[in-house]
Chains A and B, each alone.
Chain A
Amino acid sequence: DVKVTQSSRYLVKRTGEKVFLECVQDMDHENMFWYRQDPGLGLRLIYFSYDVKMKEKGDIPEGYSVSREKKERFSLILESASTNQTSMYLCASSSRDRGYKPYNEQFFGPGTRLTVL
């Protein structure tokens, strides 16, 4: 069974702390994504990566950075957490292989609900 796991389901941090959110997928997918989800705004793309050590900014990259040192792992970093980063964070992965049956379909982790106080 395909799986995307995220390091924490719930996280509470203080303003100014450095925060690491980890995501691991076991499907050998090339693409990995970080989204934040807020009520009424849907999913907004923060960063994505289409290969190891490659990253591209999404729609709302400000205040975030990412790291992809291994194919299966994609980390989201909040350098100095702020209250407006309180949100649900979702990681996803997908395959670029057109011969792969669930081509282009995204597989999501369970999410991390981050509260910054």
Chain B
Amino acid sequence: AQSVTQLDSQVPVFEEAPVELRCNYSSSVSVYLFWYVQYPNQGLQLLLKYLSGSTLVKGINGFEAEFNKSQTSFHLRKPSVHISDTAEYFCAVTPSGGSYIPTFGRGTSLIVHP
């Protein structure tokens, strides 16, 4: 079984500042890792994912994340945020070996202030 912990339920930040949203996971097997974003009154959409290869993954809208196997982390970063980045962000993992059911974190609300 897997579990995902998003360490911050809410992250307030000023526009153009850098941001990091933290995600830690636990799993007894290899996993695939995902970050999804949910804008107000919408469904979730994929920001980026790590399946294999380079541990630094670049996604849409200038976001990137780094897979750290030893620390079982997959933190999401953006060097300069915009007001439009205000949204809920979810980290998710799925076992790489065959289950297709992701385990989601509880979400981090990113609030960008002008």
Contacts and interface: CB of A to CB of B under 8 A. Distances in A.
Interface of A: 4, 31, 33, 40-43, 45, 48, 50, 58, 90, 92, 94, 96, 102-106, 108-111
Contacts of B102: 106
Contacts of A42: 90, 104-107
B34 interface: yes
Nearest to A29: B100
Which secondary structure dominates chain A's binding surface?
loop
What 3 A-B pairs have minimum CB-CB distances, sorted nearest first?
A: A108-B43, A42-B106, A108-B44
Interface stretch (B19-27, B45-53, B77-85): B45-53
B16 to A, nearest CB: 29
B104 A111 contact: no
Contacts of B49: 104-105
Interface in B79-114: 90, 92, 94, 100-102, 104-107
9 contacts: A40-B106, A43-B104, A102-B46, A103-B51, A104-B32, A105-B34, A105-B46, A105-B49, A110-B42
Nearest to B42: A110
B30 interface: no
Given A40-B9, A42-B105, A104 B43 contact: no
Nearest to A103: B51
A4 B106 CA distance: 23
A48 B101 CA distance: 8
B106 to A, nearest CB: 4
A111 B43 contact: yes
Contacts of B32: 104
Interface string B25-39: 000000010101000
A109 B45 CA distance: 9
A111 B42 contact: yes
Given A104-B94, A105-B49, A4 B100 contact: no
A104 B42 contact: no
Contact of A31 (B44, B46, B100): B100
A96 B97 CA distance: 11
B50 to A, nearest CB: 11
